[in-house]
Amino acid sequence: MKTTDAASYLSYGEAIPCGTVAEQDPAIGTGSTILKDGLYYTFYTGHKDNATATQAKEAILLATSSDFKTWTKDRSFRLDAPGGYSSNDFRDPYVFLDENTGKYKMLVATTQGGTAVIAQFVSSDLHNWAVTDPFFKNIWGRFYECPDVFKMGNYWYMVYSDKDITRQVQYFYAPTLAELQSRTDQNFPPNEGKLDGTAFYAGKTSGTSTQRFLYGWCFSRSGKSNTGTGDWGGNLVAHKLVQNSDGTLGLTYPDAVAARFATPKAITEHAKTGTVSGNVSQGYTLEGGSSVRFGRLAANNKITIQVQAPADNQAVFGFSFADGRDQKVKYSVYIEAKYNALKFDKVTIDTTTGSVSRENINYNGFTPSSDGSYAITVINEQSVCVVYINGKYAFTNRIYNMQYNPWSIFSSEGEVRISGITLKSDK
């Protein structure tokens, strides 16, 4: 598919079909594409789950195209795991041109001697590849999937997906490519470089040296339950990468995605609980333990609000979705400025005692605003919902039944002032 803005896509249909069960690619895993001399090269993972003891479960394969529409598998090309590397975990090739050496580099997620590494190969022609020292030796031994290396501004970055422990998309960065390869546990960005929560995975980037997008999937959940097990795959989500002055990365919404939500919708106040003053047009002041419930959302929505928390950030506030008047369960995004955390919880209300219990579904750390001020945009398309905060943080969640149901704002700790509330849909 093709896009110029991460909002509208032109489909070219299937590019590279799976092979037969007798071939190396009865299933296909991710890879990368590079252009050389008018020809596009896509290196991808051939995954053979029915491999025998003498066959490789994974190998790197190649398809080429002159127009990016019609692709031909090059069955003369095959890159297998060298000696000492695992042939069962040998995937996600990422190819880029190292302008310092004039050589192409291919990075592959694998293990060496039982330890997770990102293997490195070099080539001058994209056909003949020689193994060299690993590009990255994993600090914790976690398996880093989907490695993606690029330069943006004055820094080099490696984005990856931690398969084993956090299940999050993360990154390292450094002023030079050589330094990037030698990052240690003393060189983490804030919050260990996590770019989203656990419901956004397999993030890879695309763009230019000045504007770049991070694409991943928000997994669907078994039984279409917000607490169900995350499936392998789901819906494509695109974030816009934000480069801060110190080199750290943030995330915000692509401008064209936000622009799709242009139809203003009325915001109808249904109920207040706790100590609340104000209204939709003037804004609200919410004491801890209070909330305001609004009418039903459309299928696809963009909500914007401005929040002023105490300057010392001693507050917890957020949004609740699928928050019907007669419902015992709702799903809430907590912005825990007091505890440096973003949380997505199942909230259950005991209608007899009034007690409330929380079951955490998704979590990520974040650095609160220095002055307690928060500009928040919520964008959902059906059950995929992303909360963007201060042009720095994205928190993606699968929230079934949030569309066509009431929603609310709340403060569970501290007094917060909420203003500038808007609601728009895409039709």
Q: How many Cβ atoms sit within 10 Å of the Cβ of residue 424?
A: 18
pLDDT tens figures, 347-394: 999 877 878 899 999 999 999 999 999 999 999 999 999 999 999 999
pLDDT tens figures, 177-234: 999 998 876 677 877 799 999 999 999 999 877 789 999 999 999 999 999 999 989 9
pLDDT tens figures, 132-174: 999 998 877 889 999 999 999 999 999 999 999 999 999 999 9
Percent of the chain's residues with pLDDT above 70:
100
Q: Which helix (H) or strand (E) holds 305?
A: strand 300-308
Q: What is the pLDDT of residue 327?
A: 85
Q: Which residue has the tokens 């956004």?
A: 200
- Distance CA(319)–CA(426), nearest Å, equals 21
Structure tokens at 308: 């002023």
Q: Which helix (H) or strand (E) holds 30?
A: strand 27-36
Percent of the chain's residues with pLDDT above 90:
90
Structure tokens at 161: 């997906």
Q: Which residue has the tokens 């695309």?
A: 206
User: Residues 194, 198, 203, 209: is their CA dihedral positive or negative?
Assistant: negative
Q: Comparing C-alpha atoms, which of 360, 368, 362 is closest to residue 389?
A: 368
Give the rounded distance of the alpha carbon of 357 from its chain centre. 28
All structural domains of the chain: 27-258 (2.115.10.20), 261-425 (2.60.120.560)
Q: What is the pLDDT of residue 186?
A: 65
